[in-house]
Amino acid sequence: MATEVLVPLAGSIWEILVEIGEEVEEDDELLVIEALKMENPVYAPCDGKVSEIRVKKGDVVEDDDVLMIIETT
């Protein structure tokens, strides 16, 4: 089953901390969104494998955009 990771707050992508194919556990940091000069980590909603990353560093993202997809087994 695929789970979408959504943008929790609008900002720009500061850093992506995982790669496609990487196994992640719930609450691992996936990437960092910069908003108002503050770095906000985004955490994995579930265990699984990163199957798709839809943003790159520097992208401006809005609330509820899809950041990446995690494939749960």
Partner 1 sequence: MVFFQNMGLLAVTPGMVFMWVIGLLLIYLAITRQYEPLLLLPIGFGIIITNLPLSYLMEPGEGLIWRFYHYGIEWEIIPPLIFLGLGALTDFGALLAQPRLIFLGAAAQVGVYVTFFIAYAMGFSLEEAATIGIIGGADGPTTIYLSAKLAPQLLGACAVAAYSYMALVPLIMPPIMKLLTTDAERKIRMKKGRKVTAREKLFFPIFAAMVIILLVPASAPLIAMFMMGNLFRESKVVERLNEVAQNSLMNMVTIFLGVSVGATMSADIFLRKEVIFIFFLGLFAFMISTASGILLAKFMNLFTSNKINPLVGAAGVSAVPMAARVVQKVGASADKKNYLLMFAMGPNIAGVIGTVIAAGIFISILK
Binding-residue total with partner 1 (CB under 8 A) = 13
44 with 24: CB under 8 angstroms? yes
Q: How far apart are the C-alpha atoms of 59 and 49, rounded to whole Å?
A: 23
Residues 6+ apart with CB under 8 A from 37: none
Q: How far apart are the C-alpha atoms of 23 and 26, rounded to whole Å?
A: 10
Of positions 37, 56, 58, 73, contacts partner 1 by CB under 8 A: 37
Among 17-25, 30-38, 47-55, 65-73, the segment contacting partner 1 (CB under 8 A): 30-38
Cβ 28 to partner 1 shortest distance, Å: 11
Which residues of this protein are in contact with partner 1, per CB under 8 A? Answer: 8-10, 27, 35-38, 40-41, 43, 63-64
